[in-house]
């Protein structure tokens, strides 16, 4: 029986993904811990601490666990973990038993946090690769939308009201720009977080004797696992873990912005975009006409949850002395859930953006619904050279009020105002009140963002 939605049989594939559950689930953690223990034995064998035959036997026993972590005596593991407070000693006991005589060399000079931290880093590496894969796909979908709808005009909205015309391609490109930066952040965070952790009881590696041999062991362990070798133990410096979760929270926030926009655009009153159609998806139990924006809702929920995890993991940064008395445990909750919800949000975004239904006709209809008022600024700027900007603003402002009160096109009202119609003329006014003529640099900015893709 489950409590959280990420492992729920009902909701697990809505809020998360199977691949991320495999990376951060319980069995995944045990496999990565066994991987670290085996790598440590091999590293110490090269340094001359552990006999080579023992390292080989330990690696063979660990390989069986890595391949089939469910083969562990999990009832015993649970019982002993609850007693000890951590799963590493119980895991080491079973690994040592499987390794036979070589088992006495398992976990040599290490401490629990060394193994769990390094295992977490391996999970993060796998998780970042999954996130990057779906992020790349989502960015590709947005690039296609930006390119296809580069010149498709629609109403730009500020404070939920018509502001100025934009294009849907421009809107998609703005969304894409944020995701591009998140892709940069994912690349940049790796060198800071993908570091091996091996420091022993208090971080000094005193159990391995002289500094040269102990530091060489850590370097060899890093090489075995394909991780960076830090200059000093980082077990009470948690900014790398925290930064990773902040990046995921930022990513989810940007996905939430996209979802919020699309959800509003899919409202009956707008009707400009809709999630991909799948029969029965988003159905109401009582209203047959409904098609609810399910992916948008899930993405928004994930963004809110990730915001909380981002705050929670910051608490784990504040640690005491050389071994934290509780903050570390916070990461056990925040880190897996952050990756789980981020993966789920990206999965939903990838699906939604890949099949997004766009209605240019409805965009045009909404753009025209205020009969030219949306380009009042264009008229003002066109008139300003003749009257001065302030006078032009007041003249167009008064015309807008009349157009609204009489429900008439702005062009008709402007043509009745000599101070406007005389210097500009009917043809110029008609051009200025056409929203398609007031897109500014929106198409050019789309081109700049898409250049080289």
Catalytic residue list contains 139: no
CB contact at 8 A, 268 and 359: no
- Beta pairing partners, 165: 155
Question: Between β-strands 161-167 and 153-158, what pairing exists: parallel, antiparallel or unpaired?
Answer: antiparallel
DSSP calls for 287-346: -TT----HHHHHHHHHHHHHHHHHHHHHHTTS--TTS-SSHHHHHHHHHHHHHHHHHHHH
User: How far, in Å, CA of 33 to CA of 29, rounded?
Assistant: 6
Tokens linked to 252: 């989810």
Which residues is 195 bridged to in the sheet? 228
Q: Where are the beta strands (DSSP E) in 111-188?
A: 153-158, 161-167
Tokens of 240: 């790398």
Q: Distance between CA atoms of 327 and 320, rounded to whole angstroms?
A: 9
| Contact (CB, 8 A) for 380 and 417 | no
Please confirm, yes or no, whether 323 is among the known catalytic residues: yes
Query: Catalytic one among 71, 281, 284, 401?
Result: 284
Catalytic choice (323, 362, 408, 431): 323
CA 107 – CA 90 distance, rounded (Å):
12
35 in Cβ contact with 41 (< 8 Å): no
Name the residues annotated as catalytic: 284, 323
């Amino acid at each position: 029986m489950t409590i959280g939605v990420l492992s729920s049989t009902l909701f697990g594939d809505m809020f998360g993904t199977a691949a991320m559950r495999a990376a951060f689930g319980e069995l995944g953690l045990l496999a990565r811990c066994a991987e670290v223990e085996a790598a440590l034995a091999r590293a110490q064998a090269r340094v001359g601490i552990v006999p080579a035959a023992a390292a080989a036997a330990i690696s063979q026993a660990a390989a069986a666990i890595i391949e089939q972590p469910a083969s562990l005596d999990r009832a015993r593991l649970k019982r002993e973990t609850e007693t000890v407070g951590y799963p590493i000693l119980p895991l080491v006991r079973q690994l040592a038993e499987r390794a036979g005589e070589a088992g006495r060399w398992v976990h040599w000079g290490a401490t629990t946090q060394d193994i769990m931290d390094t295992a977490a880093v391996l999970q993060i590496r796998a998780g970042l690769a999954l996130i990057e894969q779906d992020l790349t796909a989502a960015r590709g979908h947005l690039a296609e939308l930006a390119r296809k709808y580069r010149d498709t005009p629609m109403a730009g909205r500020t404070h939920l009201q018509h502001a100025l015309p934009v294009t849907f391609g421009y809107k998609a490109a703005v969304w894409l720009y944020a995701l591009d930066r998140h892709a940069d952040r994912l690349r940049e965070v790796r060198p800071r977080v993908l570091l091996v952790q091996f420091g022993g009881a208090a971080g000094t590696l005193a159990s391995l004797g002289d500094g040269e041999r102990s530091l060489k062991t850590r370097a060899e362990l890093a090489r075995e696992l394909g991780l960076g070798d830090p200059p000093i133990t980082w077990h009470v410096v948690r900014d790398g873990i925290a930064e990773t979760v902040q990046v995921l929270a930022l990513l989810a926030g940007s996905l939430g912005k996209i979802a919020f926009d699309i959800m509003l655009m899919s409202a009956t009153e707008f009707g400009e975009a809709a999630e991909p159609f799948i029969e029965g998806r988003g159905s109401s139990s009582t209203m047959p006409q409904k098609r609810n924006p399910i992916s948008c809702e899930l993405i928004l929920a994930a963004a809110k949850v990730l915001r909380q995890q981002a705050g929670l993991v910051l608490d784990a940064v504040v640690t005491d002395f050389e071994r934290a008395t509780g903050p570390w445990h916070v990461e056990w909750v925040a880190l897996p859930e952050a990756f789980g919800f981020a993966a789920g949000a990206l999965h939903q975004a990838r699906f939604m953006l890949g099949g997004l239904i766009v209605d240019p006709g409805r965009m045009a209809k909404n753009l025209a619904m205020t009969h030219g008022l949306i380009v009042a600024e264009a008229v003002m700027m066109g008139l300003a050279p003749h009257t001065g900007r302030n006078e032009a603003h007041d003249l167009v402002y008064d015309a807008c009020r009349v157009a609204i009160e009489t429900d008439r096109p702005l062009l008709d009202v402007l043509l009745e105002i000599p101070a406007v119609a005389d210097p500009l003329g009917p043809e110029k006014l008609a051009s200025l009140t056409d929203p398609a003529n007031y897109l500014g640099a929106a198409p050019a900015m789309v081109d700049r963002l898409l250049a080289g893709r």
